[in-house]
A and B are shown apart, each in its own frame.
Chain A
Amino acid sequence: MINIFINIMVAAAVITSLRILIGPTIWDRLLGFNLLSAKLIMILVLCAILFDRNFLLDIALTYSLLGFVSTLFIARFVRDRGRI
């Protein structure tokens, strides 16, 4: 049952990543990246259930924190038009 869920989530992540490619503005691309990282965290949680390993949750935690920092600073960088 978890296998089917992981397949559906991978399909949703691929469809979300199309928004990064076709987004008209850079903020659409940032939104697509944020939602894609959220879906990857969900896939990691489902994989941790499937394989019954605890360390995959540590990887999910680290990935969420790194995605937070990178998205926040790219948003500030775009808002100030390249001036830091």
Chain B
Amino acid sequence: MIREIIGNIIIGIGIVFVLLGVLGLYRFKDFYSRILIGAKVDTVGFITICTGAIVRSGFTWFSLKVLLLVGIVMLINPVVTHAIASSAYRGGYRVSEEEDSNDANG
């Protein structure tokens, strides 16, 4: 019973991190700032939510699967973020061009 309450509190903290990531996705006007904030905060939120799930479930088969999911996402998410940023940089996307187009539009 006390374990469920602690797990709910940890999941709530993780959801606060995820909402900060959603706020940062719209707050910043630059692509590279957005990819930094979005990827980092979202990974922290995922790990915190899965930690809450593990604490809530105890030492069972369920928590072992959640631990495997955390391991795979911790391996995958930085690789995907680096692939997107590298694709933007090598594809010819620069920040100054974006600012100029913003000034021209607005």
Contacts and interface: CB of A to CB of B under 8 A. Distances in A.
B69 A76 contact: no
A3 B75 CA distance: 29
Interface residues of B, number: 46
B77 A31 contact: no
Contacts of B98: 24-25
- For the complex of A and B, the 7 pairs showing the least CB-CB separation, nearest first, are A75-B87, A79-B87, A27-B88, A57-B65, A75-B83, A68-B76, A79-B91
Interface of A: 1-2, 5, 8-9, 12, 15-16, 19, 24-25, 27-28, 30-32, 34-35, 38-39, 41-42, 45-46, 48-49, 54, 57-58, 60-61, 64-65, 67-68, 71-72, 75-76, 78-79, 81
